[in-house]
Structure 1
Amino acid sequence: MKIILGVCGSIAAYKSIDLARGLSKKGHEVKVILTKGALEFLKPEVFGYLGIDYFLSLDDFENRNVLHIDLAKWCDHLLIYPTSANTLANLAFGKADDLLTSVFLAKRDETTTSIFPAMNTYMYRHPLTQENMDLLQRIHKAGNLFIHPPAAGKLACGDQGEGKAPSIDKVINCIEAINPKITNESKRVLITTGATIAPIDPVRFVTNSSSGKTGYELAVESLKRGYQTHVIAGKHATSQLDDLLELPGFTLTRVTTTTDMKTAVEKAFSQSDIYISSAAISDLEFEAHLGKMKKTQMSQSLEYKQAPDILKYVLGLKKDQQVVGFAAETDLSHDILNEKWTRKPVDLLVGTQVHSGLCHDKEQQGFNTDQAHYKFFSDGAITLDTVMLKSKLPAEIFNRLN
């Protein structure tokens, strides 16, 4: 993605250096525009040392070409971080008195703008600042603009409250998923992810190594495509999911046990168009003791029962929905995948090679990693057999759905 990072006069301006580096490391092309106020907080040459093109407020008037037009045509996403109260006012009233505001006015309809306000709490809460944000959102209601609320905490001036710029990691984690055009009429995707937990007593439990990273990547791709996205995640699934909470069209439900997840899926499934079962669900449940089990109470075995089979349950409810199932296996042979698909004939079965790395001197595979070995299976045949990054997997899945 081609991103213009606009940096305004706020104490949080220093964070923009790490933001530009982080976006570049993620593979995005980044160019930086610094307002006159931003120069009071950082030296622009730092971006140059990092190999990132940067432009100053008055560069528009020292360029043979029409720079603000060239940059507006170039970018896919205009990211303004941090956004000062002054720049918010200028954007709201259509002023074009520097390079950044000129690029904003010249950008194409398909270009997304995301604004991250950062200022003192009283400045942020002031009726004029609130009105400026409302005006921007009203004017761009059918457009492509999103204002991310600031974080709360202790500010640089010592005040406590709203106004902090969100963390760099949060911005990087959500930037690709920002899609202001998602509406109530958009396609609805329901995703389960992460590990569920089977408690034995108040101290002990059984779970697995699933991190929920796949579910996070699926959510990002779903939002990117303009779908309303509801993720039902294990309580310990990656915190990257929480970074999406403020985005248009995103809902997150945290659960603990497999039964909890089944209940949440039951409530949401009928309103969904696509269901993706990427969760590594615990298939065991125990009658949890009220207190910690003492050694004298323990035997050589634990009594357990089979946990609900959520995917099988969903297939019984299925009407027009498309259903994608995941099979976490140490063996991805045709026979094993076919047996699973025969019992649960999903529209697409994604087999994932997994190993916790905790036994038999094997490396961890699939769980809590950035890539895995996948096999796609449908209609009795393997249609894809490859190792790929988890970030690339969602596009492969959605491309096979209607």
Structure 2
Amino acid sequence: MEIVILAVVIALVVILGAGGLVVGSRRRKQLPPPRTGTPSVTAPPAEPHVGDEAEAPRDEERRTIEEVDLPGATAAPDAVEEVQVPPAPVIEQPEPTAGRLVRLRSRLSRSQNSLGKGLLTLLSRERLDEDTWEEIEEILLTADVGVAPTQELVERLRTRVRVLGTRTPDELRALLREELITLLDPELDRTLHTESHEESPAVLMVVGVNGTGKTTTTGKLARVLVADGHSVVLGAADTFRAAAADQLQTWGERVGARTVRGPEGGDPASIAFDAVKEGIAEGADAVLIDTAGRLHTKTGLMDELGKVKRVVEKHGPVDEVLLVLDATTGQNGLVQARVFAEVVDITGIVLTKLDGTAKGGIVVAVQRELGVPVKLVGLGEGADDMAPFEPGAFVDALIGE
């Protein structure tokens, strides 16, 4: 019996010892508590599993990527800054040229009253003696008709009045009108040759001395041609005057005509050549070439004008060489005309400022001097104040209704 009790006691001791070892082992494995002043270490958060929300959903309206403003950006990457394009110039429709001189007759008549009305007054005298005929001659000479044309007109008037016998106002007006139209030579061809050729456009050169208004005349002539249904290219061959090319280009833009220009001080012949070349490429009807103003006493400049014409003729013929004359210069314009005619073959005259002078007889004188017709006249500052010259309308403006 004692032996059994001893065995039980030993078994209990063994079991209790084993349990103490286990508890001691567990206590040695526990981490010591943190010391005061030592920062605690926070364990990293567990990584989310597939399907888990990163954070609790917020009650906000969802936006597309295009609607989100990126940091430091003011516009979407593919946005293009809008460029301000200047408005295109308004293309004008020039006034028709048919009958334009008739519509401008009032301007012409105001400046020419001394010629027409003076002649009618003298012819209406009861007695036409030698003094009266001398006064008639003086009026004609003052109007720059010229000596030879004046003598011819007076002689015909003398004969007609002597044969006519009676001289009522209407008869005298009809007589004077007929003789003045004859003096202007209505048989001269005043047509502007602007019809294009098979392989090249018509070429018109505008020449003259400084200050006669060549560039303005070229611009107004472009309007005349556009009004008559022609397509036009302008050549700014006046490279010596800084504003000439800009001025011509402005005239062209107003009627939709392209202007060919070059550097300031460039070769005029080269620019004229390029203008005709451009006219051929565009299939234009006519090319207008504005040349630099030349003093008719400067031989070198005049020779250069001949060079421009020769270079242009490599493309095709020059159809018109229009000499611009200021009507207010009177007989001095004839001197200029002679020199220009020696360098280039003048085909027509453009008389500017005819509304500002009483020297309308220059029309007769310059035609007689050069043997070429006055084809255009300028009667004001307006864009459409240039008109094809019509002898009948011109004479009607001189002597009134």
The TM tier, using the shorter chain, reads 0.3 to 0.5
TM-score scaled by structure 1? 0.33
Q: Using CA pairs below 8 Å that are at least 6 residues apart, which structure has the higher relative contact order?
A: 2
Structure in which a larger fraction of residues adopt strand: 1
TM-score scaled by structure 2? 0.33
